[in-house]
Amino acid sequence: MKEGKAFLKSKMKWVGLVGLVLSVFSLFVHFLLARFTEDGFSEYQSSITIFSWRPVFEATDLSRTSPLYRRLWGPVGQLESLHPHANPKGYYADPSAQSNGYIFVRIQGGFHEIRSSICDVVAVSRFLNATLVVPEIQQTTSKKGISSQFKSFAYLYNEETFMAALAKDVNIVKTLPKSLKSARRNKAIPVFRVPYAASPYYYLHNVLPILIKHSVVELVVSDGGCLQAILPSDLEEYQSLRCRVAFHALRFRQDVQDLATNILHRLRAPGRPFIAFDPGMTRDALAYHGCSELFQDVHAELIQHRRAWMRKRGIIKGQLSVNSAKQRLKGSCPLTPEEVGILLRAYGYSWDTIIYVSGGEVFGGQRTLIPLHGLFENVVDRTSLSTSWELSRIYGREANLDESYPRAPPSAQVETKLDAWKNSGPRPRPLPPPPARPKTYNIEGWWGWVAESDNEPESTVVELRTNAHKLLWEAIDYTVAVEADVFIPGFDRDGKGHPNFASLVMGHRLYQSAASKTYRPDRKEVVRLLDQIHSHIYHANHSWLTSIRRHMRSSLIDGLIKASNKSKSSSFLSHPVPECSCLGPNPSETLSNASTPSVHLQVHAALDVVHRCPVWMDGEKNLSSNERDNEEDIDENDPSSSRLFLQHTGSHDAGGEDINLKEESQFEDQEEDGGD
């Protein structure tokens, strides 16, 4: 009997042990499934939780061949013969095996400054016949709690792709030789803090002799570019090299690129084209250009505080107080999201158009975007098209940081007062002195220090980490904006007066697909038109809508020609034409309209594009002559435009759909008549 009980107990123990082992095995299997099927999990999540937008569209989807669709989304016919061509156009030797030494580069700045600087230093290395060490970006990244998985250049870009793509242009190594590493640690190598937009002869006369003497130099680039934008004609091949770097060699880290691709897939999932919009409303840009009065709250004080900081450091020479109204009238201030929304609605984009808001910062926060949300139902960004888990995954394994601000101990004087109160005479006594108020400023929330101090508190480790994450956020936005069906900037200047993130996007789109719609509105003209209806801005008359439509359509070409004179002188990547473009077969040769070829030739002449594409690039598909005639001669005087603009965003009833159908059919008939 006792033996039976003992046997039963031992059997129960074995059963319990087997159950425990199975439980552990089950947990292990679940862990593996979660680890290796994360893509499927992500897509499953995407249909449930990550979309905060409303993908509800009007019942009348436009035909891709309709005049209205071509006007809103179709290619710009006058630019369809421009094709990307960054290959050498003449004799181009491989880099010499015997270089003059090593160039070690430290690049500081934001996303667009880093990207421009990398292209410049590659061209400089080729010019000096030097071996380039993979540039170090955001030097102190590893000291700010950033993941040790990604070091410097590899935090943002793919090192292997970068080196392989430029193998026939310049010698590139990952690190300095050991002997030179120790010399750099001992600060025994010459350092040049390179001026912004330096000429090639600066490097030839100042840097090259030192490079040959010491076999290594260190360049510090901090202003977003170390080589002048427009080079002499005999250095044209270096312009093509810049394009090869920017548009082919600089590929984002694979997991960053994958997330950007997933976001693009989710944007295109409804089967509709979308607009990318970059506000360009950063604190530095607003301060530099004197646009503080766009805000009527504490943000205006923050902008003025940054402007004072810039004046102390010589970044700006102007007065501290600037009339923001005059700056706005001159076109020196960003267009607000509301103003851009009005432009798009006036041009004919419906209330349910998908608007992707790009850029690492919109100063003023989501409150600034509320009017845009009121004009368009489907305003999205990277956070609404991805999960927090997907975003955190690209950061890698980062050190845990204490996000609470340290509280300073009470001063000796406060302690003395408290002891005196405890040891004072009989009660009743006055209340004890209040404790010292700790300086715990919330930089991301309400900016309390503005009212209490003239000195902005130093950035915390958490804020420095966030600034590093902004590089990854802007990499995602850059990819989406370049691939968007339509792009429109709110501003094209940064906090130093140089071309900004939006300018690089427009330059990349011009190189990759010149005919894709990229609006470049003249802010001075737009402000003038908006001020005409300031008192009744949402009840515009027909003539005003016609003026807006005409200006938006002309900005596709006129804005591009103006950029060749304005932006290119500051940043080659913002306008890489004509050096990195070629002319394919002229589609206008097939047209029956004799006036059209001259229009194409005028545009090409204004952009100075004369180089013909290689024969292997021929065979591009062209629109039929009838379609192109309609596209070039679209009539802006559409009587239904005011209804399209004033349509109530909440009307989904059948009657509203019937009206839309009638308006669109009228619109198509009128535009076809105008194109003949």
Q: Report strand pairing: 131-133 vs 102-107.
A: parallel
- Taken in order 535, 357, 574, 583, is the CA torsion positive or negative? negative
pLDDT of residue 664: 41
Note whether 124 and 203 are within 8 A (CB): yes
DSSP helix/strand/coil, 187: coil
Task: Give the span between the Cα atoms of 44 and 155, in whole angstroms.
Answer: 28
pLDDT recorded at residue 627 = 44
Which segments in the chain show pLDDT lower than 50? 36-50, 59, 405-408, 439-446, 588-595, 620-636, 639-644, 646-676
Residue 142 neighbours by CB under 8 Å, 6+ apart: 148, 151, 152
Q: Find the DSSP H helices in 79-205.
A: 111-127, 159-165, 178-185, 200-202
Contact 76, 515 (CB under 8 A): yes
Do 93 and 66 meet the contact criterion of CB atoms below 8 Å apart?
A: no
The four Cα atoms 140, 145, 150, 153 give a dihedral, to 10 degrees, of -20
The SS3 of residue 243 is helix
Decide: 518 and 91 in contact? Cβ < 8 Å. no
Contact 577, 510 (CB under 8 A): yes
The CB density around residue 664, as the number of other CB atoms within 10 Å, is: 21
pLDDT in tens, 331-365: 999 999 999 999 999 999 999 999 999 976 788 77
pTM: 0.82
* Whole-number pLDDT of residue 591: 45
3-class secondary-structure state, position 580: coil
DSSP string, 594-624: THHHHHHHHHHHHHT--PBPPGGG-------
Rg (CA), the chain: 30
- Please give the pLDDT value at position 371: 92
Task: Round to whole Å and give the CA distance between 350 and 649.
Answer: 9
* Number of neighbouring beta carbons within 10 Å of residue 269: 13
Query: What is the overall mean pLDDT for the chain?
Result: 80
Segment holding 192, helix H or strand E: strand 191-193
Q: What is the pLDDT of residue 622?
A: 47
Judge residue 416's burial from the number of C-beta atoms within 10 Å of its C-beta, 0-12 exposed, 13-18 middle, 19 or more buried: exposed
